[in-house]
Copies of this chain bind each other. A is one copy, B any other.
Amino acid sequence: MYVILVYDFGEKRVAKMLKLCRKYLNWIQNSVLEGEISEVRLKELLILAKGFMKEDEDSIIIFKGSKQYSFEKEIVGKERCRIDNFL
C-alpha cells in the first residue's frame, strides 16, 4: 500500500522519529515521508514510534492510498531529499 506519513514531534524526539521513519519510507520534506509499505511493516513502525513519542504532544498522520497513481504530487520551492531513494 502507498502511504504518506507526516509527523509533528517535539524537538527532543524529532531526529529519532526521522531516523526511524527513513528505515521504512522515503523522506520527501522535513517531516513528510512517502512510500510503499505493507500493513505489517507500518504497524511495526508505529509500535516503535509509540515507544518514544509523547502521545499528548506528538502526532503522526498517515494517509493510506491503495495505489500510488491515485495521487499526483506537485512540489513548489526547494525540493529536499530527491535522491533519498538511492541512499
Contacts and interface: CB of A to CB of B under 8 A. Distances in A.
Identical copies of this chain, number: 2
Given A29-B8, A70-B70, A77 B65 contact: no
Contact of A59 (B8, B60, B63, B80): B80
Interface of A: 4, 6, 8, 28-32, 46, 49-50, 53-67, 70-80
A59 B73 contact: no
Contacts of A28: 61
B74 A53 contact: no
B63 A78 contact: no
B63 A77 contact: no
A66 B65 CA distance: 12
A59 to B, nearest CB: 4
A71 B4 CA distance: 10
